[in-house]
Structure 1
Amino acid sequence: MNGRTNEHRIALFLDFENLVTNTGISASNFDLQPSLDRLLEKGKVVFRRAYCDWSRFNEAKMGLHRFGVELIDVPPSTRAGKNGADMRLVIDALELCYARESIDTFVIASGDSDFCPLAYKLRENGRTVIGLAVKESTSPLFVNACDEFIYLRTTRQRSEKGDKGRHGAAAEEAGHGKRGRHGRDATGKAGKAEVEKAAPSGGKGHSKTEVPEIAREVVQNLIARATGPVNPSLIKETIVRKEPDFDEREHGFPTFAKLLAALETEGVLRRIQQGRQWYVVGPDADLAGGSEAKSEGKGKKQGRGRNTEESEDELESYPDPEEDDGL
């Protein structure tokens, strides 16, 4: 019973025409599975709707029906056109927000900045908003309006990853991206694609790892204000609040634990273990007052070593004993 209380309940709204028009994803090969898998890691998707003039996208109907998506048909009126579907989506999302308090997370699958007011209103009412769209077709304004943003990978991007040994079952794969103010221009995108092609192996997409400044800044600020050890999940959540589409993989780190390990190597932080939980403290923190932290953190750190894969894997889970990790 208590477990269900902490489970996120998610509503998914798809502005379908926006996702398949000039994005590199077509209606015929659109696959919701990778995106849905990412959302199911966060909670239960209890509401699924897609909006557009379905007479134009008949080939996508069967695939969406397979995932239990309700198709809302919005035929073009005299001059409304696509805006009719947008308005219907906004009205339904707000109605659901006020009628179903149990739904705490709204996913808006679109890159259109016209949905910024909707995102602001949902967040004003205490809901978490996740954006979902193709990076090259997403407005930075909408990215900033969301709590978190997940990027869809196009057919070309998936095939490039497949050339490196990964077999993708879908035409799109969900993944975070790097916020625009750190390199959303066309040159940056082309450069990234070339680096991914040139990378020898490992699927990192970068020839070398580089700790992003936002991570270093957040860790230093949290440690400076903390009165005790800091949960790594809090660090990740704070970074995502500042950069909704932050992803450590964009900087060459396969997991967030690897990024923390790099910061430890730089001397920005020190990781300790208390029981089965890993925490982060300042590099010069005095843990003499906590016998468990001293014995578990100090001893296990020396026994296992900073860079062992075992410690990295345990760190990556970082469950919080007091609250659900959530998004």
Structure 2
Amino acid sequence: MKDKNLAVLIDADNVPYAHVKEMLNEIAKYGNPTIKRIYADWTMPTVSGWKNILLENAITPIQQYSYTSGKNSSDSALIIDAMDLLYSKKVDGFCIVSSDSDFTRLATRLREAAMFVIGIGEKKTPQPFITACDKFIYIEILKKAQDSDSTEKPKKQPNAKTETSSVSKIDKNLIKLMKESIDEISDENGWAFLGTLGSYIIKKKPDFDPRNYGFPKLYPLIKKIGVFKIEEKETGVNNIKHIYIKNK
């Protein structure tokens, strides 16, 4: 299957610069980031931290002067560029990197044009922007991934639990979401394929990600919750295992 060509548009005023490589690695899972632009008033000292990492990550800086005090003019520049790219038909999707709800309408408009839209921002990102995206990823889980990868001697923390790195807690709302989703997509016997379940939950809750709860995949998260029946079925000539989930 051909990778989607993605336009990555970064709002430098509303996301931290420390984890750009992790962001780009995450974006690469969904497609090829053919266009990478970052918007800011580069004369301001508040965005000076970005300047050192733009070249090594091949991100094009877009200068947008702050004409009025208190107004974020880079938002307008990003939105205009996004619409230009939409009509140019050079990309199949967009990744908007920001924690600002001002991009809610943009994400909605892009999806109306059949564009695949990823959002990346901090946990503080307002819910309307999250909901407007096909998929939303919290920067905090990318930070945790970097911290984990940089730990050369994990034996120093033998009793550390994966859940301690979570940005969300397993609660009754998550369990309710899973139970309802299983009921809605299950077969006549009540079983739902794990892969289909994960995709379906993201459609209902774009910021759903097992990593938010400290788990690398959906399967260990479901096992941890412990309120579902789990069955592994071998299919095909290679005896590939497929996992099915059912409400108890």
Task: Determine the structure 2 residue equivalent to 1:149.
Answer: 136
Is residue 2:11 matched to residue 1:12?
no
16 and 127 in structure 1: CA distance in 2 versus 1, 3 angstrom threshold: same
Q: How many residues align?
A: 235
Q: Distance in 2 between matches of 1:219 and 1:64?
A: 44
**Gaps spanning 5+ residues in structure 2: where?**
153-157
For residue 22 of structure 2, the aligned residue among 8, 25, 34 is 34
Q: Which has the higher strand share?
A: 2
CA contact (8 A) 2:182 2:246 kept: no
Alignment of 1:115-264 (within 5 A): 115-136=103-124, 138-153=125-140, 162=147, 167=150, 200-205=159-164, 212-224=175-187, 230-261=192-223
Equivalent residue of 1:205, what SS? helix
Q: In the TM superposition, what whole-angstrom CA distance separates every residue of 1:131-151 from its partner, at most 9, and x where no partner exists?
A: 111113x11221111111111
Cα shift at 1:204: 2.1
123 and 168 in structure 1: CA distance in 2 versus 1, 3 angstrom threshold: farther
Q: Distance in 1 between matches of 2:180 and 2:63?
A: 47
Task: Determine the structure 1 residue equivalent to 2:87.
Answer: 98
Q: In the TM superposition, what whole-angstrom CA distance separates every residue of 1:80-114 from its partner, at most 9, and x where no partner exists?
A: 764321111101101111212x5222111111111
Cα shift at 1:50: 0.4
Equivalent residue of 1:17, what SS? coil
**Gaps spanning 5+ residues in structure 1: where?**
20-24, 170-198, 285-327
CA contact (8 A) 1:9 1:105 kept: yes
CA RMSD of aligned residues (A): 3.5
CA contact (8 A) 2:162 2:214 kept: no
State TM-score, norm by structure 2.
0.79
Q: Distance in 1 between matches of 2:185 and 2:61?
A: 45
Cα shift at 1:121: 0.3
Is residue 2:35 matched to residue 1:47?
yes
154 and 269 in structure 1: CA distance in 2 versus 1, 3 angstrom threshold: closer
User: Which amino acid in structure 1 is aligned with residue 201 of structure 2?
Assistant: I
State TM-score, norm by structure 1.
0.62
Which structure has the greater CA radius of gyration? 1
CA contact (8 A) 2:79 2:106 kept: yes
For residue 69 of structure 1, the aligned residue among 32, 47, 59 is 59
CA contact (8 A) 1:229 1:279 kept: no
